[in-house]
Structure 1
């Protein structure tokens, strides 16, 4: 009995989190996806999903079934990738994810340039400050900054990235510049997506928890607050180089700046030999450093 379309609908609903997202992915209506999943549940004789007005959760049977079925579609994608490899030219879908501001400002233009060279590609970009599970969510590659935590993924260094602790001259009119990490506790710190700032002490990585009255998960907002003298911020070079050169910002604690801040591409091991992905990464290695340096 043919049930591939029903299984695919179920896998996409779980992977993407909603019937609407699955319907967009499969280019069908919401009602069609819902009907396919219901038919699958009837065939299996058990409920796979708990449906509420706000969210969808897996039943125990659904979780078990998903774990097995998702590998089937991974296999299908690998079969398509093998054909791409045989033809030795980028084609099919290229899906990537990264942090929002970095993706919008630096990655999207480079992806668009790559698409002009390879118009047969289908591109999917997803920018979010959430840590994405690229295997479960079906991405080919994620662009990440700093220290990598997931050793199950293959990583390729794309370019260097330096982080600075900066403040405006107006801020330092009211408080002296810090010269030791312990002095951060008496400063107003502007907090971005994390409240632990990274440093190096005698070559050893160290994280210092900072506090302050200002927080936002936006690099441009963080930069604006620092420029207006609201406190200290830790920001990467492509945000602050221009302002350091002009004197609008002052870098402090340079003796503790750590080097583990590169920009990385991470991807599943089974994608390591994909010409499509490798050519795209070569493209980023060639042009991303130039784009970052031209940002200021």
Structure 2
């Protein structure tokens, strides 16, 4: 017979990274949480946490144990909700990651709306442009933009985006318009995180290497540089459309614009998809229409 003692306490500490916060979440004393964790470590003959005066973090063994325990607890949670008809009231922890700019502008407001509907939820939203390990770091959901490379994840398309190449009227008056992809080599291209731009040519995707006097990992900084006439930029619609509409930027090479790219929600293939995650997926999909 499986011994459940200490499992809930372990998961709470792993997610809160604090014995005190875990005790508050569980409604028991910090001392009781500590006793249960110590007893669990003794039973497993393994150290589950690194403890310092400032921080509590899971060990490598603890991460493996957490992944299995989280799936089991999610399964028990859904079973209980099925019996008590609580599927309409999401609760518990939701851990999400999204790219910084798109996350700040679009995803975070929607998640805030979702959280306001369900006050029993605890949301952890990490805005990062790094490709985090969803399984290892315990994420329920990740928002990804454009071409997907990781086939080990399940993906749901939420919306789409369009990449625009554009420049200011002042830049174009000085240096002229590029009429073909080969002419980009004659222009100052403002470079983001990659030194190539993606286009459509003869029905196929073509990557074109670009170079210029400015490179930056901030889309807002690149837009500002383009508006000020420093060069040509390629960025998604949510960066440049307001400035195209105001006339501060002019779209270029429209004949080679790539088809719309997907905006995706990713989640681990082997992870049990809880009702709260399914409801968030539906909420995001509806909000991004």
TM superposition score normalised by structure 1: 0.76
Give the secondary-structure state (helix, strand or coil) at the position aligned to 1:133.
coil
Residues 56-205 of structure 1: matches in 2 within 5 Å? 63=60, 66-67=63-64, 70-84=67-81, 86=83, 87-92=86-91, 93-205=93-205
Residues 3-82 of structure 1: matches in 2 within 5 Å? 12=14, 22-23=17-18, 27=22, 63=60, 66-67=63-64, 70-82=67-79
Which stretch has the larger CA shift, 183-192 or 161-170?
183-192
Give the secondary-structure state (helix, strand or coil) at the position aligned to 1:179.
coil
Alignment partners' CA distance in 2, 1:148 and 1:256:
21
Question: Residue 264 of structure 2 aligns with which residue?
Answer: 264
C-alpha change, 1:132 and 1:81, in structure 2 (3 Å) is farther
Give the secondary-structure state (helix, strand or coil) at the position aligned to 1:148.
coil
TM superposition score normalised by structure 2: 0.77
1:44 offset after TM fit, Å? 7.9
Could you report, residue by residue, the CA deviation over 1:115-158 in whole angstroms, capped at 9, with x for unpaired residues? 22222222111101111222211111111110111112111111
1:227 offset after TM fit, Å? 0.9
Alignment partners' CA distance in 2, 1:80 and 1:248:
53
Alignment partners' CA distance in 2, 1:85 and 1:199:
48
Give the secondary-structure state (helix, strand or coil) at the position aligned to 1:184.
helix
Q: CA RMSD in A?
A: 3.7
C-alpha change, 1:3 and 1:49, in structure 2 (3 Å) is closer
C-alpha change, 1:286 and 1:182, in structure 2 (3 Å) is same
Question: Residue 206 of structure 1 aligns with which residue?
Answer: 206
> How many residues get paired?
275
Alignment partners' CA distance in 2, 1:177 and 1:72:
59
C-alpha change, 1:190 and 1:272, in structure 2 (3 Å) is farther
1:231 offset after TM fit, Å? 1.0
Misfit runs of 4+, over 6 Å: 32-51
C-alpha change, 1:3 and 1:84, in structure 2 (3 Å) is closer
- 5+ long unaligned stretches in structure 1: 52-57, 290-296
- 5+ long unaligned stretches in structure 2: 24-30, 52-57
Could you report, residue by residue, the CA deviation over 1:54-96 in whole angstroms, capped at 9, with x for unpaired residues? xxxx9xxx75775466333433344334434552124232221
1:98 offset after TM fit, Å? 0.5
Which stretch has the larger CA shift, 275-284 or 98-107?
275-284
CA contact (8 A) 2:7 2:69 kept: no
